[in-house]
């Protein structure tokens, strides 16, 4: 089994993510240098906090370029929460900031009228996932069909290409991307490490996933 490089850039819930991946059967190594990333056989990018700070931390040591190189080389990759958002082109959080640009799209704030409709921001707690009926569920996400997962976020991903949307969620009547993907890349807005049995089952799928 290949070792999972859990990216340590000074942000993110590394302890919980590591424990969950190990519980799911993965061999995990914390990686904090571009050189180590370039040797990684499987990558998980976790994240909590601000998009701007995340990208600044990745760029400070050249981790952003190393990530892009490995993404382009086809390494299996899982992005979690902020680790999903930085895959896109740009974020509107606290200004406008460039992301990795691996998947075309932008990161936008949840609608500001949600609280007036009875839905607090951030969106926090358990919620359902919706999968398109006219396409197969992504193999990493199959264990989540019919399950709820745990969200904590104030911003959401808006991919340009609908084909990159792997799963959706609705907060009130507002739909947003709960999971996106492209080839060997899958990324989720929710926290699998906080999503109990269903989240662990998803992580186990990622641990053993062999993209075409």
* Predicted TM-score of the model (pTM): 0.96
State the fold for domain 4-208.
Rossmann fold (3.40.50)
193 is known as an active-site residue: yes
pLDDT at 1: 58
**Active-site residue (options: 54, 81, 157, 169):** 81
> pLDDT at position 124, please?
97
Task: Report pLDDT digits (tens) over 103-156.
Answer: 999 999 999 999 999 999 999 999 999 999 889 999 999 999 999 999 999 999
Is residue 107 within 8 A of residue 85, CB to CB? The reply is yes
> What per-residue confidence (pLDDT) applies to 12?
67
- 157 as an active site residue: the answer is no
User: Is 102 known to be catalytic?
Assistant: no
Q: What is the per-residue pLDDT for 95? A: 87
């Amino acid at each position: 089994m290949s070792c999972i490089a859990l990216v340590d850039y000074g942000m993110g819930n590394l302890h919980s993510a590591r424990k969950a991946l190990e519980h799911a059967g993965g061999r995990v190594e914390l990686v904090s240098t571009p050189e180590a990333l370039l040797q990684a056989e499987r990558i998980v990018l976790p994240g909590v906090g601000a998009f701007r700070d995340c990208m600044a931390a990745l760029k400070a040591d050249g981790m952003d370029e190393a990530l892009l190189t490995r993404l382009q080389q086809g390494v299996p990759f899982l992005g979690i929460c902020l680790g999903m958002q930085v895959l896109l082109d740009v974020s509107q959080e606290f200004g406008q900031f460039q992301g990795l640009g691996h998947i075309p799209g932008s990161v936008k704030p949840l609608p500001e009228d949600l609280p007036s409709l009875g839905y607090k921001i951030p969106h926090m707690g358990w919620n359902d996932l919706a999968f398109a009926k006219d396409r197969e569920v992504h193999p990493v996400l199959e264990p989540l069909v019919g399950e709820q997962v745990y969200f904590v976020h104030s911003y959401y991903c808006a991919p340009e290409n609908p084909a990159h949307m792997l799963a959706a969620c609705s907060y009130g009547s507002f739909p947003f991307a709960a999971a996106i993907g492209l080839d060997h890349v899958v990324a989720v807005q929710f926290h699998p490490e906080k999503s109990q049995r269903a989240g662990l089952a998803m992580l186990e799928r990622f641990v053993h996933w062999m993209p075409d």
